Every structure is written in structure tokens, then in C-alpha cells.
Amino acid sequence: MKRNTIWFAALAALGLCAAVPVQADFQSWLVDLRDEAAGKGISKETLDAALTGIKPIPRVVELDRKQPEFTLTFDQYMNRVVPRSRVEKGRKKLAENKALLTEVSRKFGVPPQFIVAFWGVETDFGRVTGGFKVIDSLATLAFDGRRSAFFRKELLLALQIIEGGHIAANAMMGSWAGAMGQAQFMPSSFVGYAVDYDKDGRKDIWKTRADVFGSAANYLSRYGWRADERWGRRVKVPEGFDPKRADLKVRKSVSGWAMEGVTQADGTPLPDSDLDASIILPAKAAGPAYIVYNNYRVILRWNRSHYFAIAIGRLADQIAGQ
């Protein structure tokens, strides 16, 4: 078969040709993928609908390679991700969906404000869900070679989702990296945690809010969310506090940290509690300090970024008026 000359030319323009396996072109790679998918029970109809005519997307490879020109500071990130406008919009969305959120919360043990916070941070409450066809993006990244095994697995799972009738191939839209719908689940997260909350036979995280909320709450619940605990709070550490001890691996009770001189941000004592806790300094020693609990660790299972996790906690607290 001929090489996909347009693809290689586009990659050459981006300086990315070295990452492409020299021994195979996209079309022959696609034949092999179809064979593997068929062996996993994916029908010819699904494979034709999903894979016919697809081509690698140079822009996806560019985004995968692109290094940020600068890194946001903690304050810049919080101002961008948790602006006052998002808090107000979150309160409005919480009120609009109160009955459904209350029901989902009771079922999964995740407070409504946290479901809304994840929804808000991930997709601005369903407004920005990504403009890429998930199959095309995942095929591009699986063929590319840099993280091919990971994305090939995600691609095969995406095909299984289509085979299961949850979404049509041409409607499976998401981010350039394959995160899908209003919850921004990768296919593996969808397969593991998405739920058909409205019982219509489909797990629809693209348009059905019941499924979006239920899936997000199920994910958090399965990773051990505790409904009766906070995620954390801002604190003040004593002068001379060793920044190396600000680590999730260092655990003490809240009372234990209090004995070391850690206080609430306003200087008042921490609660007398045996709750297991860690101290983190997301902006290093010069920035704010937080004491965090089990639910913070659960948030990190969704996205392993301290900035993200604190943004979720702060947004949830503000939506709830805390």
C-alpha cells in the first residue's frame, strides 16, 4: 500500500516525522486494527461506521507534542478556573438540577456541589465538550507511536462503546486526546464507571444530565468518596515548617498537625479530630498551605494535579456557600 503522503508531509512541516513508525503506513495499520477489533467481538457494521474514511489528524499530533509556552502560577490558575462567574453559574446550575442532583447524591454518597464542580471545571457545565471525533483522534494517537499502546487500548474500548449502542460513531465527540462528553471520560473510564442512570439503555455522557451526574458520582464513589468528610481547607503552617513534609505520603491526624502549630488560615485552632490528613503546598513554600483528607485523594484519581484538585474543592465549597 502507498504511504499516506499527506500525513507524512504534514508531520514533516511540524517536525514530527521521527515519531511515526517507518515500517507501516496508516492504511495497513488500520487493517491490523480492524482484525484485532473483530477478534474482540466488534461487528463489521460498527467497524465500517467508525473507521471508513478516517485519516490521521496532524493537529492532534501537534497538540500531543506541544509544550506549554509558560506555566500558570497557582493564583493565575485559580483565577482562570474558579472565577466568580463560574461560582455564580455553578449555584444556578445546582438550583436548576436540584431534584436530580439530590437523588444522585443520595444514591452514590457524593454531595451535589462536588458533582456540579467537576461538571463546571471539566466542560463549563456541558458547554465546552471538545470538537474532535474521538475515533479519529484516538486512531491518530495510537498510530503515532509515542504512546501507541495506551491509545490503541482506548481506541478499542471506544469501538466497544459504539458497539454497545451508547453513541453513534459520528456523534462520539470529545477532546483531541479522546476525553468524551460532559464528564470528559476517557473510554476506559466510561467502560469502568459510566452509568445508565435514566434507564434508557444507553450510557449517554454527551447529552443526558442524569447519566452525566450519575457517572461522575459513581466514579468518585467507587474510588472511596466519604460523604461526611470535607476535601480539605486552607491552613497556616508554623514558621520553620519543613516544606519536604508537605507531601501526601506524610500523614497525621488533624490534631497531630495542630500540635505541630498548624492552624486554620485565620489563625484559629484546627478542629480536634483524628481524621487522617496531609499538608500540601501547591505553590511551594511561598504560596498557600492546605490540609487535605481522603476526598482530596479521590479527586486526584480523576486528575493528578494539585491545582485541579484544589480548584474542585474551592469551587464546590463556594457553590455551597461555605
Task: Share the mean pLDDT of the chain.
Answer: 92
Q: Which three cell numbers stand for residue 31?
A: 487493517
**Assessment of whether the complete model's pTM goes beyond 0.85:** yes
Q: Which residue has the cell 511551594?
A: 284
Helix (H) or strand (E) holding 233: strand 232-236
**Helix axes of 84-96 and 98-108: crossing angle, nearest 10 degrees:** 90
The CA angle 81-263-225, to the nearest 5 degrees, is 50
Q: Is 9 a residue whose pLDDT tops 80?
A: no
pLDDT given at position 19: 43
What are the distances in angstroms from CA 263 to CA 257, 269, 277?
Answer: 8, 5, 13
Percent of the chain at pLDDT > 90 equals: 87
Which DSSP state fits 207?
A: T
Distance CA 207, CA 114 (A): 20
Res. 259 pLDDT band, cuts 50 70 90: very high
pLDDT given at position 68: 59
| Mean pLDDT along residues 203-232 | 98
pLDDT given at position 5: 42
Q: Is 24 a residue whose pLDDT tops 60?
A: no
| Mean pLDDT along residues 1-23 | 45
pLDDT given at position 66: 80
Contacts 24+ apart (CB under 8 A), 286-290: 287/74, 288/74, 288/234, 289/234, 289/235, 289/236, 289/237, 289/241, 289/246, 289/262, 290/232, 290/233, 290/234, 290/235
Helix (H) or strand (E) holding 196: none
Distance CA 163, CA 38 (A): 11
Q: Is 322 a residue whose pLDDT tops 50?
A: yes
Which DSSP state fits 289?
A: E
| Mean pLDDT along residues 288-297 | 98
Domain 232-319 class in CATH? mainly alpha
Q: Is 283 a residue whose pLDDT tops 60?
A: yes
